Structure 1
Amino acid sequence: MLIAFNKPYGVLCQFTDRSPAPRRTLADFGLPAGVYPAGRLDFDSEGLLLLTDDGALAHRLTDPRHKQPKTYWVQVEGAPGEAQLQRLREGVPLADGPTRPARVRRLAPPALWPREPPVRFRKTVPDAWLELVLREGRNRQVRRMTAAVGLPTLRLVRVAIGPHRLDGLAPGQWRRLDGRAPASA
């Protein structure tokens, strides 16, 4: 079974939380029993998360050797210059080593759902949207890459993993991708 889930902002990519002040988890969304995330998406990131009950499929989706492209829409603080975009395209040196080259382009502000809490707005500081496509998945990689080129991330939404896309799923909604009828949520 393969599930596409639109993970809302402020939700952990796990089914339990043992912290003293429990946070929202995947268990809050009526997902089918026996599935687990194929990869991760940070607590403060949103968008496509794939879940499966098939370990081999999870491996194919997440192992960097299989080079599944992951597409992100990133709202950044600042006005990206061509030199900054080129640095992202070539790969950025980070504390844990250089990143692989990324595909990046400017993006018109996408039609997305409102985020709660909303992204801070400052009249004196411009912001912009980028589409960034990676073929690796390090911890907080997109945020670290944009910060390294002087464009701090304000909002991060993953819209695709390989051929799988959000395609109209609202935050907190999920659908099966394997062609079987969906279970009731």
Structure 2
Amino acid sequence: MGERETWTTEEFGASHEGAVGVLLADGTVPDPVFLAMSSGGGGRSVSQWSFYDGRLAHGPRAAALRAVCSCGWTGTEHRLDWDEIGEQKLLDAGLAAPDACCQEWDEHTDQVEMSAIPLPETFTALLAQVEEEIGKLAKTSPLAALRAARRLEVTAVETGYWPAHDARQDATTEQAAAALGLDQNAARRLVARFGRWSPYR
């Protein structure tokens, strides 16, 4: 896959990395577009939707755009009306479809969050309160706010140790991934980080 604009959330990261995917008229996904350097050879490969306009040195003409996610989820196909686009650049004329893709991916990550293991309301309310207090502290003392954030980080490491060990005994990697809203590799790394062992063990 070539370079392209992607979206992630803080909690789910690369496990649910979204982007605008391209479909050709025959329903296939095109190869990345190779952009040659102006001098000295070499270049880079891109899969950014706006390059698939059929123009010289660009990729083939996209027939539709859809949201895609690294987890395998795909959104609705949004057909491109090339009669309406005409000679305009796709980047200028086709923004409605990418915007819709982004919104659909947002809805997908909302579903991922809802399917993850739920947290008690008292805990989520407490986290929201802590976040608000750090925000207030940052207005008067950024360094104090930074220390508070660091204390949260230390607390997370300390309190996550035994739950990580218990989770390793009680749940498979597949179960942990589903509960955390991550792919299996990310879940394995997360549990290993809090449990302080190598993820390759």
If asked which structure has higher relative contact order (CA below 8 Å, sep 6+), I would say: 1
More helix by share: 2
| TM-score, length basis structure 1 | 0.23
| TM-score, length basis structure 2 | 0.22
